[in-house]
Amino acid sequence: MKKNQLLSIAAIALLLIVSITSCSKNDPIPELDQEEYNSIQLVFEHGTYTNNVFTPSDGETLVTFTKDGTPTPGTINLTEGKSYRMKINLLSDNESINQEIIDEADEHQFFFLGSPDGVFDYKYEDDQIGLTGILSALKETNAAFDFQILLRHALNKDHAAAQAWNSKTYVEAGGADDLNIKLKIQVIPAN
């Protein structure tokens, strides 16, 4: 009898151990692989844009951003009627990681928001990624405005919300932000 009780207790204990260890947590939600950077450079190469051809002139404006998005300088002036080849460099320990973005071009795209209507036009120069493009200043502004630079990762680039460089509905194309920074820009009249 004592042997039967011992076997019963052992069977119950074994059953409990098997039940507890067979329970598992839900599968983890996969995280989007986002690029790791610790600074950003934004280069505005001065020039003209005529008949889909950019002709550089002397000069460029360089803006650097810290990892948390603080720009230096905090405000820049661009000139009405001028065009700028805008280059974005994502850096990790002073080394460019732009090639990671280029290698995954089908799932990365920059959007540029915040400018008043009709102030800028932008043309992607790199398969609709936005690391390099032509920003044309079409008209002056009365004051500086927040120019927002967003990099989306894992979006559907064929979605209607991803077709315009300044799409205010870009989130509808899916994905997540890899980068979201702002710079104050004022477009000044040409001399």
Q: Quote the pLDDT of residue 31.
A: 45
Q: Quote the pLDDT of residue 190.
A: 92
pLDDT band with cut points at 50, 70 and 90 for residue 58: confident
Chain length of the chain: 191
Span 161-185, average pLDDT:
97
Nearest to 48 by CA among 97, 2, 84, 9: 84
Give domain limits for the chain: 39-188
pLDDT band with cut points at 50, 70 and 90 for residue 12: low
Q: Quote the pLDDT of residue 10.
A: 54
Residue 5, pLDDT above cutoff 90: no
Q: Quote the pLDDT of residue 29.
A: 46
Q: Quote the pLDDT of residue 191.
A: 82
Residue 30, pLDDT above cutoff 50: no
Q: Quote the pLDDT of residue 36.
A: 87
* pLDDT tens profile 111-168: 999 999 999 999 999 989 999 999 999 999 999 999 999 999 999 999 999 999 999 9
Residue 26, pLDDT above cutoff 90: no
pLDDT band with cut points at 50, 70 and 90 for residue 86: very high
Q: How far apart are the first and last CA of the chain?
A: 106
SS3 readout for the chain? CHHHHHHHHHHHHHHHHHHHHHCCCCCCCCCCCCCCCCEEEEEEEEEEEECCEEEEEEEEEEEEEECCCCEECCEEEEECCCEEEEEEEEEECCEECHHHHHHCHHHEEEEEECCCCCCEEEEECCCCCCCEEEEEECCCCCCCEEEEEEEEECCCCCCHHHCCCCCCCHHHHCCEEEEEEEEEEEEECCC
| CATH 2.60.40.1080 describes domain 39-188 | yes
